[in-house]
A = this chain, B = another copy of it.
């Protein structure tokens, strides 16, 4: 392990102290003097609080002069609520900056180049852990909205329920547990009021024994009709958020404001169809049970495709067996009306 890596590891440990679900990325910073001694540490504690670099500079005071700053993410170059970190580092007399992840946003990027222009030694060094920590945020930043995964659990012939509407269970217990683990990793789960009414889902992330996992996503219901009194989505520590609109773009904008970077679309073909038509599906996750129903509701709604040359094509990026089932991860190759980034 090089010295750089060691210090980036430490910065990463600082970053992890920040809140997991926040509009801003989790970032950590350590200031190291010429003798290799850590002078100060800092992390970003969430939107509206100082950035990690500023937190470390504040802790260091005059001792910041001549140090090297190790930061998990490229220092920002824009005036947000806290002023650009690149300028703050330079002003404090920091002699060098080593960062792991380049800022993917047009608005904030350029911090490294600006610092180099001021005569600061700037170095980028890859660090998988640091990249992983900001992956959801970075993806959303590039998209200009939360990243959307459409989850489907169906038979080989694309059915999500039998002819009589029963659907418990089409996929296996291991596949359903995999789905719960996925819920714990996303910021929000979205269903339509139709699914809320029909299935009365809890939408919590649960373990194999049915108890709730430590990490719970924001539960969101989209649609104009009221939830039934006593619906499981209205109970729990944090009741579900209802968004009274049918516009996916509006849904995602509202969720982005709440710091949501990743959305799991679990509810019904109607909702999924609306997101698909709006170009708001970034990934399709299909749990495929080795089973046939031959009748019953389809997983995929009418997408307005009339002829085979208009088939919606996807790239199959991953195939895994989960218990007796298959899990396919796909990325659309063509979306009919891509949502414009703002």
A residues contacting B by CB (< 8 A) are 154-159, 161-164, 166-170, 273, 284, 286, 289-295, 298-316, 319, 321, 324-326, 328, 330
How many angstroms from the CA of A314 to the CA of B324 in the assembled complex? 9
- Beta-carbon contact of A307 and B156 below 8 Å: no
Q: Which residues of B contact A309 (CB under 8 A)?
A: 166
Known A156-B300, A158-B158; 7 more pairs at CB < 8 Å: A156-B328, A166-B307, A166-B309, A293-B312, A294-B298, A315-B324, A316-B321
Which residues of B lie under 8 Å from residue A286 when comparing CB positions?
Answer: 156
**What residues of chain B lie closer than 8 Å to A158, measured between beta carbons?**
154-159, 298
Known: A306-B164, A324-B316. A311 touches B290 (CB 8 A): no
Contact present for B303 and A293 (CB under 8 Å) = yes
Per a CB cutoff under 8 Å, which of B305, B311, B315, B326 touches A316?
B326
The interface residues of chain B lying within 8 Å CB-to-CB of A299 are 157
Task: Report B-chain residues with C-beta under 8 Å of the C-beta of A290.
Answer: 313-316, 328, 330
Q: Is the CB of B308 within 8 A of A292?
A: no
A330 cross-chain contacts in B, Cβ below 8 A: 156, 290
A-B contact pairs, 16 of them (CB 8 A): A155-B158, A156-B284, A157-B299, A157-B300, A158-B159, A161-B308, A162-B306, A163-B306, A163-B307, A168-B308, A289-B311, A290-B316, A292-B300, A293-B308, A294-B312, A316-B321
Question: Chain B contacts of A300 at CB under 8 A?
Answer: 156-157, 292-294
Q: B156, B157, B302: which contacts A295 (Cβ < 8 A)?
A: B302
A319 to B319, CA, bound (A): 9
Closest to A286 in B: B156
Give chain B nearest CB distance to A54 CB in angstroms.
46
A331 to chain B, nearest CB (A): 9
A304 B294 Cβ-Cβ under 8 A: yes
Quick one: which of A164, A299, A312 has the most chain B CB within 10 A? A312
Contact of A291 among B301, B313, B326 (CB under 8 A): B313
* Minimum distance in angstroms from A306 CB to a CB of chain B: 5
Of B292, B305, B316, which contacts A312 at CB under 8 A? B292
